[in-house]
Amino acid sequence: MHYVSTRGHTAAQTFSEILLAGLAPDGGLYLPAEYPTVTSAELDAWRKLSYADLAFEILRKFATDIPEGDLKALISKTYTAEVYCNARAGDDASRITPLCTLEEGKQGSLLLQALSNGPTLAFKDMAMQLIGNLFEYTLAKNNAELNILGATSGDTGSAAEYAMRGKKGIRVFMLSPHGKMSAFQTAQMFSLQDPNIFNIAVKGVFDDCQDIVKAVSNDHAFKAARKIGTVNSINWARVVAQVVYYFRGYLSATTSNEQKVSFTVPSGNFGNICAGHIARMMGLPIDQLVAATNENDVLDEFFRTGVYRVRKSAETWHTSSPSMDISKASNIERFIYDLLDGDAERLTKLFHKVETQGGFDLSGKPGSDGDEFAKVKQFGFVSGKSTHADRVATIQDVKARHGIVIDTHTADGLKVARQFMKPGVPMIVLETALPAKFNETIREALGEDAPRPVGFEHMEELPQRFEVMEAKVDAVKKFIAERTGG
Ligand SMILES: *Cc1c(COP(=O)(O)O)cnc(C)c1O
């Protein structure tokens, strides 16, 4: 299996070669030269597999240059009931991503698939825990080191830190806006005492943190000397690790491959739902892929109109589902590549237009950049949007009717999912975080605290380890240099 860039200018590479890479050198995103396919006989055989065994069957189709014994061992130590132990009361942790049926009725059935039972209580652990083990393995093989530099407003940073803590050959330098994260998110990151994890609280906002990361990454000499890397949402291995739970969800909700299911995905950067698209391209019988957005509706606009329009910071809202507060949907480039039938030249033109004019238009209307919007439905994509009032109402409704507390992102998903239910086609809503992480909105909706998983009760009281720093690139560089060998 070889990988190519969506912009077409790089030589084919192996899975291990792109594992530690972010963007391809031509600025594009990596994709397999062609998607592996799955037969009905394979699907049947996979029905009875554990999550880890299923993950191995899928990932061996993509990571063909890692010896199978090694790959299997890495996957087996990742997807265990001990790592994904934070299941809601009544759910079975050994199933890693258990399904819970909310409704079965004339309009079809509505299910939740729990993806947030990992150490940081958000779905990013599903891929990031595997990435931690894959990175450690690959670095050891090449006798190499990696210093991960990132900026976070919450979920990504903590998932990366919990995946990389204690890993040989890896350090994490994570920038966050000082005093701007929730008490829970701050405690989750800053209470880590592992010597390879460095929390840098920047006196500024999230954009200042992100600007510093960009400035450091653009200093190519420093980047090479200090072996700086990233694990952002465009990393291919993160996307492909997420393909597994779409298969798991399908196989758990059906008894025969004649059946179809739909998925609704609370979406921001299009990383999660991109994995659903890949599962569908591999032959998984998915009917609809429903992209649910919050007030930051870049994706909803595209899937309703064919117009992709990046938002300016002044029109990017801070909402109560903050992990979906995005101004552009980085991974959509992977879908556009498939929508254009792999025409890298046209794709490059479109994404240049994103940089120069803020977007492109595939609606087919006079003056637009193409008419491929007409083909979007063939890929199963539809979309909808949800607001703060919808989240609060949905959280209240689910608590009242089912006795379950869901988080704000999942609430966006559920609200939108209801618009696309069909008789005979189970609708699976991906639960992307546990409510304890976003307690402020749970209190607003329910007048009570969200349930806290065992072990998280006194997290805010633990000693914290972090460095407060001015929003200055040189200060961050000096800090990194001092901790990476002088
Ligand atoms: C990151 C995140 C999302 C958005 O996922 P994308 O892959 O960026 O679309 C949704 N919900 C939660 C809780 C998240 O942490």
User: Would the CB of 233 count as within 6 Å of ligand 1?
Assistant: yes
pLDDT band for position 206 (cuts 50, 70, 90): confident
- Each residue's pLDDT tens digit, 98-143: 999 999 988 889 999 999 999 999 999 999 999 999 999 999 999 9
DSSP 151-182: E-SSHHHHHHHHHHTT-TTEEEEEEEETTTS-
pLDDT of residue 331: 95
Angle at 446 between CA 440 and CA 449, to 5 degrees: 50
- How far, in Å, is the centroid of ligand 1 from the Cα of 267? 6
pLDDT of residue 297: 97
pLDDT band for position 154 (cuts 50, 70, 90): confident
pLDDT of residue 181: 85
Sign of the C-alpha dihedral, residues 244, 245, 250, 252?
Answer: positive
Q: How far apart are alpha carbons 435 and 395 in whole angstroms?
A: 10
User: Would the CB of 269 count as within 6 Å of ligand 1?
Assistant: yes
User: Would the CB of 272 count as within 6 Å of ligand 1?
Assistant: yes
User: Would the CB of 124 count as within 6 Å of ligand 1?
Assistant: yes
How many residues make up the chain in this entry?
Answer: 486
Q: Which long-range contacts (CB under 8 A, 24 or more apart) does 366-374 make?
A: 368/306, 370/340, 370/346, 372/306, 372/339, 372/340, 373/305, 373/306
- How far, in Å, is the centroid of ligand 1 from the Cα of 366? 35
pLDDT of residue 468: 97
Q: How far apart are alpha carbons 252 and 259 in whole angstroms?
A: 12
55 has pLDDT over 90: yes
User: Would the CB of 266 count as within 6 Å of ligand 1?
Assistant: yes
- How far, in Å, is the centroid of ligand 1 from the Cα of 50? 25
Interval 400-426 mean pLDDT: 97
Q: Are 245 and 431 in contact (CB under 8 A)?
A: no
pLDDT of residue 277: 98
Nearest CA to ligand 1 atom 8: 269
- Each residue's pLDDT tens digit, 432-467: 999 999 999 999 999 999 999 998 999 999 999 999
User: Would the CB of 185 count as within 6 Å of ligand 1?
Assistant: no
Where is average pLDDT lowest: 189-203, 204-218, 441-455? 204-218
- How far, in Å, is the centroid of ligand 1 from the Cα of 481? 32
Helices (H) and strands (E) in the chain, counts: 18, 15
Atom of ligand 1 nearest to the CA of 326: 8
Which residue among 125, 189, 300, 432 is best mutated to probe the pocket of ligand 1, counting the most ligand atoms within 8 A of its Cβ? 432
User: Would the CB of 323 count as within 6 Å of ligand 1?
Assistant: yes
- How far, in Å, is the centroid of ligand 1 from the Cα of 409? 8
CA-wise closest residue to 461 among 195, 200, 202, 186:
186
Q: How far apart are alpha carbons 217 and 388 in whole angstroms?
A: 35
- How far, in Å, is the centroid of ligand 1 from the Cα of 323? 5
Listed in sequence order, the residues at least 6 apart from 171 whose beta carbon sits closer than 8 Å to its beta carbon are 145, 146, 147, 148, 196, 197, 198, 483, 484
User: Would the CB of 204 count as within 6 Å of ligand 1?
Assistant: no
Across 386-448, where does the E strand assignment appear? 427-431
Atom of ligand 1 nearest to the CA of 409: 11
Question: Which residues are designated catalytic?
Answer: 124
3-state secondary structure of 337: helix
User: Would the CB of 324 count as within 6 Å of ligand 1?
Assistant: yes
**Scanning the structure block, which residue is given the tokens 């109560």?**
320
- Each residue's pLDDT tens digit, 318-374: 899 999 998 899 999 999 999 999 999 999 999 999 999 999 999 999 999 999 999
- How far, in Å, is the centroid of ligand 1 from the Cα of 190? 21
Computed over every residue of the chain, the mean pLDDT equals 95
Nearest CA to ligand 1 atom 2: 323
pLDDT of residue 182: 83
Angle at 129 between CA 480 and CA 330, to 5 degrees: 75
- Each residue's pLDDT tens digit, 232-288: 889 999 999 999 999 999 999 999 999 999 999 999 999 999 999 999 999 999 999
Strand-strand pairing, 228-229 and 146-151: parallel
CA 440 to chain centre: 23
Q: What is the DSSP letter of 189?
A: H
> Which structure tokens are listed for 25?
């050198």
Nearest CA to ligand 1 atom 1: 323
Percent of the chain with pLDDT over 70: 100
User: Would the CB of 409 count as within 6 Å of ligand 1?
Assistant: yes
pLDDT of residue 1: 94
Distances (CA, A) of 24 to 181, 308, 481: 32, 22, 26
Q: How far apart are alpha carbons 331 and 345 in whole angstroms?
A: 18
Domains of the chain: 93-119+237-446 (3.40.50.1100)
Q: How far apart are alpha carbons 262 and 479 in whole angstroms?
A: 47
pLDDT of residue 486: 52
pLDDT band for position 88 (cuts 50, 70, 90): confident
